[in-house]
Structure 1
Amino acid sequence: MFYERSVAFMKERESRLKMMPLKGMRLSSDRQEYGVNWTNRDDRRNVVLSAIGSADSYTGYVFGMEVNFDPSVNLQDLAKSQQYQDDQSRKKFNRTLARIWTPREIHAAIQANKELEYKKKELLKSYFEAGNLPLHEARVASLAEEIELESGVSPVSFDDATTLPDNGALVRSEYTLCAHFRLLQELIGHADLLTLYLDQDTLINRAAITAFTDQVKAGTCRVAYVRFNKELTVDERRFRVKMTEKAVGMVMKTEELDRIEAERFLVQQSLSQPYAMSGSKEVWFSNPINRIYECEKYVSFLTDCDCLSENQKVSVIRRASLHPIDNFFQMVRRRLSLLERPMHSQSNNGRVWTGKSPYNPVMVEKMLQILRVYYNFCLRGKDGKTPAQRLGLAKGPVEIRKILYPSC
């Protein structure tokens, strides 16, 4: 009951966004994966689901946590249908069931993923011999595209330790991503100015720009990749933050500027030194302002930046961050024991089982939506306000009983 009431409450509140005047909004988007325990002891492979979420940088409001899973489809019944048989002889773009992963396609994807891993090892070996480390994620993404063109199958994150769910169907991530950004376009596409900060993921990039095509053409939507060094230890991050404080303090003293203008001054200097990273077609700019949660950050414009003034470019780079959505992802891991990161064991050959993980994939969607409602409408921040309150969807924190029993 809580799930149904939460979804109804959320839909009713978010429908108001379409009529609300919205000025500038900055959203960060990323994906997170969740494991589901096996239900058959004879087949101990895990089901891995992926959810896409976007969060507003100013208010912290989380828009959607769409999971690539459809509980209304029964694969066993579908495999016996004439519709499924007809689809097998058609090209992928002509299939009526193209959005669903079938057992045959999963097998082909696993083979493509093995080919990708082999090519990554060979490329890493050549990089090591040439002294050209590290191997950047963009180069790996380029390899994946090459394999997809050769085999016709995307080498997604499937391996011999993963399988399809017994109940329901796994939806291709690109369909889930497109649905997520189309929903965003319906809710906030009328905003005066939108800035989308994306994780370096080609599928997310394509889905976002496709959904906001009209806004991109009109110049009211800017899209950029954000990447930062995730391998740094806490002490290394603290050191970089300390160096940033020294640099900002020196600029404030010598140039007689306030803190924000000092940060903008440092970012402006980085505009004259663009980076061309190995294996990446994009042009990257360094963000010298290190935060404790994001250090050694780089930003790449995915939409045309020639029409932007230097001050506008500085603003986009300085404010670039994935922290708003990453903060919610962190809460998912910590507050939802069912979705916390499982522990791997060498003896399990890559398979993972934990007593806390769900056995039914439907529970992933339900737990995420319940937490999203609580996070947006009930949980107060340091300012005493909820994300929905900052966004204008609520006048104050909402009591849980009012979500469960709206008529009271």
Structure 2
Amino acid sequence: MEITQDVEPDYTFHKEGCTANHLTPFDKPDGFYKQGKTLNNSQRWQCKVCKKKTSILPNKRQSTTYRQKRNDILPMFAKLLLNKMPISRTCDILEIGVGTYYQKLEWLYRCCLEFLEKYETTPLDNMSFKEMWLNTDKMHYNLNNVRKKGQGGQKYFGLEDSQVQTYVVVSADALSRYVFRSDVAYDWEMTVEDLKYDTVIYKEDHLNDFSKKNNRLDFSYYPQEPSPKDTQQPHEYRAELNNFNKRMQYVDGLHVNPTYTTIAHYWLIKQLVKASEWRMISDNDSSIITAFFRVFSKEVRTYDAHHFLCSIDKNKSRKQCLEEFDDAKSDLLDWGFHRGYETKNLRKLAYLSLKELFETHQFHSEIKTPKQSYNVWAKNPITHPLALRDKGFHRVDCTTDLSSLEPKDIAKIVINVNDNATNSFIQQIRRRLSILERPLMTARGDGKSYIYANFNPKYAQYALTILRTFYNFCETYKSADGKELTPAQRLGVTNKVFDLKDIIYLR
């Protein structure tokens, strides 16, 4: 988990031979005089014995401009970043270079980490939830396929044909839409030299996958020339080495297995959020399901965690979705009228419909043996009675055992199963971040162009964290109750709407 800390240089507060050289103003301020502040608003201290004066570095609250040139452009930089402005256009508007752009991006990212440490980590540490609804989804994008510097010429002809696919894992609270994490499945600190060293030291090319130190990476070892007793043929080794070298022509670092990323993703959320019971919603993605059952294995065994599948037919047209939405509304009202219910509230009618359904329907089946009986997932989904305007009907299934719950309790749970939380944030990613937008059709119409995609996933992670902070604390949305609140307000971690200057200057 990334945290921010103030820089602590090795200060010298005393002259040589000073009898009080063991004292510092941090632990014994009584041994020093305060001698005012510098132009950067940092405190100046003077030893009472040797009279040596020392200035310390200012913290974020004392000076927002320390070691920052053109600090005045940060608010506009943040607005351009969050409004899909390409990098080159941003540089033209702000009159900065590309190097400065990435420096400002990293500075803004660190500002967001500081802000989250104060307004997310600290409040959540003092809160506990009876139920936590997690909605997880995975989006993918292709890195810009431009070769690294020095990899041009006929020697590398045809190299740009391949696309390097990268995954982003997003988890949000299904009820408040608060996004807890958005992580890129990429390790930008791993180098080829580190991989070569680990391969030689640990003999990773001869180990089973579960024993490899770097099995989380798309290339878990550096190809080694086969020894006399190896079963690998020389031509197989050359082909493997050629594939590895081709990958290294594109971008530094290595991709991480999505399952590993999601496991780490869930583990960090579990450390951040205190909840008695967990409810998880996802599509039928094996990497997400595997990660959930590993991280929440104890809670699943004690029936305190349940996993729901939300399946949507993405081949429907917008017209079909709207027709299904209208049909669902009419069907529920007709059903309620014939059952004698006076209410016309669709959510209440959907709950009553589900309650009646679960008197007979089960998501599991019972397996009996001579010694015991146990329940297994029956893969028996239902159609959710509430259709959505943009998606139509969606199907719901449960992979965990709900046999200990009454039909009314199952209905209360299933009524909340939808993927609106992650869909809403992923739409914001596509619409607000230029480097993560959907691919464009080429002018010839013969393929897709990833012209705005970034070269390094590290900067995608920076941009996602900035967007997540803005989305959670600054963007309000109107819900069924008619209130305009941010996701952070709905979750209860804050009671106000922030703006970009609050994040940048940590007001």
Normalization by structure 1: what TM-score?
Answer: 0.78
Match of 2:137 in 1: 30
What secondary structure is seen at the aligned counterpart in 1 of 2:327? helix
Match of 1:168 among 253, 259, 279: 253
String of CA shifts for 1:136-194, please: whole Å, max 9, x gaps.
xxxxxxxxxxxxxxxxxxxxxxx9xx956521111111110100111121122x32332
In structure 2, do the counterparts of structure 1 residues 237 and 270 end up closer, same or farther at CA, with 3 Å as the change threshold?
farther
String of CA shifts for 1:223-257, please: whole Å, max 9, x gaps.
11110221111111111111111122223333224
For 1:212 and 1:401, locate their aligned partners in 2 and report how far apart those are by CA, in whole Å: 38
For 1:234 and 1:39, locate their aligned partners in 2 and report how far apart those are by CA, in whole Å: 36
Q: Tell me, which stretches of 5 or more residues in structure 2 are unaligned?
A: 1-106, 224-242, 365-376
Match of 1:248 in 2: 332
Match of 1:231 in 2: 315
Match of 1:8 in 2: 114
Match of 1:264 in 2: 351
Residues 184 and 457, structure 2, Cα contact 8 Å, conserved in 1: no
Match of 1:71 in 2: 188
Match of 1:282 among 379, 394, 398: 379
Match of 1:366 in 2: 462
Match of 1:122 in 2: none
> 1:338 and 2:422 equivalent?
no
Q: 1:198, CA displacement in angstroms?
A: 1.3
What secondary structure is seen at the aligned counterpart in 2 of 1:240? helix
In structure 2, do the counterparts of structure 1 residues 55 and 168 end up closer, same or farther at CA, with 3 Å as the change threshold?
same
* Aligned 1:367-386 pairs, distance under 5 A: 367-382=463-478, 383-386=483-486
For 1:346 and 1:284, locate their aligned partners in 2 and report how far apart those are by CA, in whole Å: 43
Match of 2:409 in 1: 312
What secondary structure is seen at the aligned counterpart in 2 of 1:232? coil
Moved more, 357-366 or 340-349: 340-349
What secondary structure is seen at the aligned counterpart in 1 of 2:427? helix
Q: 1:49, CA displacement in angstroms?
A: 1.0
Q: 1:391, CA displacement in angstroms?
A: 1.1
In structure 2, do the counterparts of structure 1 residues 249 and 82 end up closer, same or farther at CA, with 3 Å as the change threshold?
closer
> 1:329 and 2:445 equivalent?
no
Match of 2:496 in 1: 396
For 1:393 and 1:195, locate their aligned partners in 2 and report how far apart those are by CA, in whole Å: 20
Residues 6 and 373, structure 1, Cα contact 8 Å, conserved in 2: yes
For 1:396 and 1:105, locate their aligned partners in 2 and report how far apart those are by CA, in whole Å: 52
In structure 2, do the counterparts of structure 1 residues 375 and 82 end up closer, same or farther at CA, with 3 Å as the change threshold?
closer
Amino acid at match of 1:291: L
User: Percent of pairs identical after alignment?
Assistant: 22
- Report the aligned-residue RMSD: 2.8
In structure 2, do the counterparts of structure 1 residues 266 and 82 end up closer, same or farther at CA, with 3 Å as the change threshold?
closer
In structure 2, do the counterparts of structure 1 residues 213 and 274 end up closer, same or farther at CA, with 3 Å as the change threshold?
closer
For 1:384 and 1:339, locate their aligned partners in 2 and report how far apart those are by CA, in whole Å: 28
In the alignment of these two chains, the number of paired residues is: 348
For 2:183 and 2:493, locate their aligned partners in 1 and report how far apart those are by CA, in whole Å: 21
Residues 337 and 356, structure 1, Cα contact 8 Å, conserved in 2: yes
Moved more, 61-70 or 396-405: 396-405
For 1:212 and 1:384, locate their aligned partners in 2 and report how far apart those are by CA, in whole Å: 34
Residues 274 and 286, structure 1, Cα contact 8 Å, conserved in 2: no
In structure 2, do the counterparts of structure 1 residues 239 and 34 end up closer, same or farther at CA, with 3 Å as the change threshold?
same
* Aligned 1:78-89 pairs, distance under 5 A: 78-84=194-200, 86-89=203-206
For 1:325 and 1:314, locate their aligned partners in 2 and report how far apart those are by CA, in whole Å: 22
What secondary structure is seen at the aligned counterpart in 1 of 2:279? strand
Q: 1:7, CA displacement in angstroms?
A: 2.2
For 2:284 and 2:332, locate their aligned partners in 1 and report how far apart those are by CA, in whole Å: 28
For 2:443 and 2:401, locate their aligned partners in 1 and report how far apart those are by CA, in whole Å: 47
For 2:145 and 2:269, locate their aligned partners in 1 and report how far apart those are by CA, in whole Å: 34
Residues 363 and 397, structure 2, Cα contact 8 Å, conserved in 1: no
In structure 2, do the counterparts of structure 1 residues 345 and 163 end up closer, same or farther at CA, with 3 Å as the change threshold?
farther
Match of 1:129 in 2: none
Match of 2:280 in 1: 196
In structure 2, do the counterparts of structure 1 residues 346 and 403 end up closer, same or farther at CA, with 3 Å as the change threshold?
closer
Residues 270 and 287, structure 1, Cα contact 8 Å, conserved in 2: no
For 1:180 and 1:365, locate their aligned partners in 2 and report how far apart those are by CA, in whole Å: 13
Q: 1:344, CA displacement in angstroms?
A: 5.1
For 1:391 and 1:87, locate their aligned partners in 2 and report how far apart those are by CA, in whole Å: 45
Q: 1:275, CA displacement in angstroms?
A: 8.7
For 1:163 and 1:48, locate their aligned partners in 2 and report how far apart those are by CA, in whole Å: 12
Residues 389 and 395, structure 1, Cα contact 8 Å, conserved in 2: yes
> 1:302 and 2:419 equivalent?
no
String of CA shifts for 1:297-328, please: whole Å, max 9, x gaps.
11111111111111122122222101110111
For 2:310 and 2:142, locate their aligned partners in 1 and report how far apart those are by CA, in whole Å: 26
Match of 1:219 in 2: 303
Amino acid at match of 1:13: Y
Residues 293 and 323, structure 1, Cα contact 8 Å, conserved in 2: no
String of CA shifts for 1:250-274, please: whole Å, max 9, x gaps.
2333322432331123224544466
Normalization by structure 2: what TM-score?
Answer: 0.63
Residues 251 and 257, structure 1, Cα contact 8 Å, conserved in 2: no
String of CA shifts for 1:10-29, please: whole Å, max 9, x gaps.
24433231320213222211
Q: 1:218, CA displacement in angstroms?
A: 2.7
Residues 198 and 322, structure 1, Cα contact 8 Å, conserved in 2: yes
Q: 1:82, CA displacement in angstroms?
A: 4.9
In structure 2, do the counterparts of structure 1 residues 249 and 73 end up closer, same or farther at CA, with 3 Å as the change threshold?
same
Structure with max Cα Rg: 2
For 2:363 and 2:296, locate their aligned partners in 1 and report how far apart those are by CA, in whole Å: 27
Match of 1:185 among 252, 256, 270: 270
Moved more, 39-48 or 355-364: 39-48
